[in-house]
Chain A
Amino acid sequence: NAGVMQNPRHLVRRRGQEARLRCSPVKGHSHVYWYRQLPEEGLKFMVYLQKENIIDESGMPKERFSAEFPKEGPSILRIQQVVRGDSAAYFCASSPRGWETQYFGPGTRLLVL
């Protein structure tokens, strides 16, 4: 009974490169959420997706960030042209239905050099 899977667990990028973070939700969960945690802070909502649809991206920076949750395969959070301020832990969560409890993955720690 696998939980939420995220990979990679650690990612190092140089400024200007692209970062791709992957999230496989709990089997049977069709709702995915991405959160970001900066050092010494709580988690901040970024985006909420259902299969093939972005439902709420009110927490996403307007530029360089995008997310998708295709019909097949994991959800992807993509950060183009990374900057040092993107260094953070990125967590994915999933739920079977939108109003139910969100279960989190182990996170991807992104370090931008």
Chain B
Amino acid sequence: DQQVKQNSPSLSVQEGRISILNCDYTNSMFDYFLWYKKYPAEGPTFLISISSIKDKNEDGRFTVFLNKSAKHLSLHIVPSQPGDSAVYFCAARKSSSGSARQLTFGSGTQLTVLP
């Protein structure tokens, strides 16, 4: 029962172009979403987050869009750089107390930015 899905295991993009990574979720209790980037043999690095009260959050080259009705979010990277090549994980969190703190992760998308 995968509550957070990243249906594209990999994505290749030319340097300078836009990278769009997608994530779908099934649990309507999720109200906070995060994107992490992960290099091999390292831990995930926090990139950007969005609360369900917003539909867009921007930080430099990174923008996250949230479509609550479709239970879909996406991460846009513009312009893409070779150093962005990594695995990107989408994660979600519920608003209820107690277990609210745990993150539910997708399976990740390997982004390759070609020079």
Contacts and interface: CB of A to CB of B under 8 A. Distances in A.
Contacts of A1: none
Nearest to B9: A40
Contacts of B106: 42
Interface stretch (A14-22, A69-77, A79-87, A100-108): A100-108
Given A42-B89, A42-B107, A104 B44 contact: yes
Given A42-B89, A42-B106, A98 B101 contact: yes
Contacts, number: 66
Given A42-B89, A91-B43, A106-B42, A59 B101 contact: no
A56 B105 contact: no
Contacts of A42: 4, 6, 89, 105-108
B42 A48 contact: no
Interface residues of B, number: 24
Please classify the interface of chain B as helix (H, G, I), strand (E, B), loop, or mixed, using the class held by over half of its residues.
mixed
A41 B104 contact: no
Contact of A41 (B45, B99, B107): B107
Interface of A: 4, 6, 31, 33, 35, 40-45, 48, 55-56, 58-59, 91, 93, 95, 98-99, 101-107, 109
